[in-house]
Amino acid sequence: MSYTPLGPRETGRGRSGRLPHSPERPFVSLLRTAAPAAALLLLAVACRQVLADGPLLGPDRDLAAELRTADAAARGLYQLLADLGNMAVALPVFAVAAGWVLVRARSCWWPVCCTVPALVCVPVVVSGLKAWTGRCGPLGGEGYFPSGHAATAAVAFGCAALLLAEHAGPGGARAARPAAWSLWAAAAALTAANGLGLVVRGYHWPLDVAASWCLAVVLTAAASAAARRGPPRPGRRRRVAPDRG
């Protein structure tokens, strides 16, 4: 039965992995654009503060010292939270989410391909910033800005939530709005808990963690934009008229 004069109605995601067009609320569209731009600006400000020994570093150290007083009360708990940023913990969480999406929607390979480069970029970008800034850590040593553990946790959990919220339904459909918000809230809670554990245990300054979160917003937003755009389609070859002159 034909729904339109153009042919049968399509549902779900086609072979190309592209989501069908659906109108988006202006606020959501604005947030998708403004959030990564603001995060990139804040990351630049944080780098400038570290390089120039700016005025934010004083409160940053004071906050770290105050938070570390809670270490003795629950040392094991905060160590567990800090370990959420280990690759052995964060990457399997992402792998389970990616595998679930591929099983639920076998044609939904493109979003997974978009999120993997975001994870690959984390150690590359973080290592470059560490070498550039050379910030000392709370317990000594150099190369602590930004936090690699915080960035790994934020990108892995954020990309997992992105895949499950946007592409885990039948045929690659989006999850219901309450379920999607719950996934994003869980990712944010795990990311915040990891950052708190890193600061309380003395592995990083708060500014190190905040800068990593900004980097994660930029990388996750880029993966989301690429996934929504869909895979590149092969262009049609233009016919060149033969020269009859």
> What pLDDT digit, counting tens, does each position of 76-87 carry?
899 999 999 999
Average pLDDT over residues 48-72: 89
Q: Provide the 8-state DSSP code for 83.
A: G
pLDDT of residue 170: 58
- Model confidence at 168, pLDDT cuts 50, 70, 90, reads low
More confident residue, 198 or 168: 198
Average pLDDT over residues 24-51: 83
DSSP H helices in the chain: 26-51, 57-67, 75-82, 87-104, 109-133, 148-167, 177-200, 206-229
Please give the average per-residue pLDDT across 217-240, as a whole number: 76
**What's residue 227's pLDDT?**
86
pTM for the structure as a whole: 0.81
Q: Mean pLDDT across the stretch 140-167?
A: 92
Tell me the pLDDT band of 73, cut-offs 50, 70 and 90. Answer: low
Q: What is the mean pLDDT of residues 45-66?
A: 94
> How far is it, in rounded angstroms, from Cα 168 to Cα 159?
12
* Residue 212: pLDDT over 60: yes
User: Could you give the percent of the chain with pLDDT greater than 90?
Assistant: 56
Q: Tell me, what's the pLDDT at 185?
A: 94
Q: DSSP for 158-213?
A: HHHHHHHHHH-SGGGPPPPHHHHHHHHHHHHHHHHHHHHHHHHTTSS-HHHHHHHH
Q: Report the Cα 24 to chain-centroid distance in Å.
A: 21
Task: Say how far apart CA 125 and CA 133 lie, in whole Å.
Answer: 12
The more confident residue out of 71 and 124 is 124
* Residue 219, token pair as written in the block: 């990388």
The pLDDT of 50-66, averaged and rounded, is 94
Candidates 48, 28, 81; CA nearest to 195 is 81
* Average pLDDT of the residues of the chain: 82
- What are the sequence ranges of the domains in the chain? 30-229
Check residue 5 and give its pLDDT.
Answer: 38
pLDDT-above-70 percentage for the chain: 75
Q: Left (φ > 0), alpha (ψ -120 to 50) or beta: where does 17 sit?
A: left
Q: Which residue has the higher pLDDT, 169 or 150?
A: 150
Which one has a higher pLDDT value, 114 or 239? 114
DSSP single-letter state for residue 3: S
The residues near 38 (Cβ < 8 Å, ≥ 6 apart) are none
Q: Which residue has the higher pLDDT, 234 or 135?
A: 135
Give the pLDDT of residue 243.
52
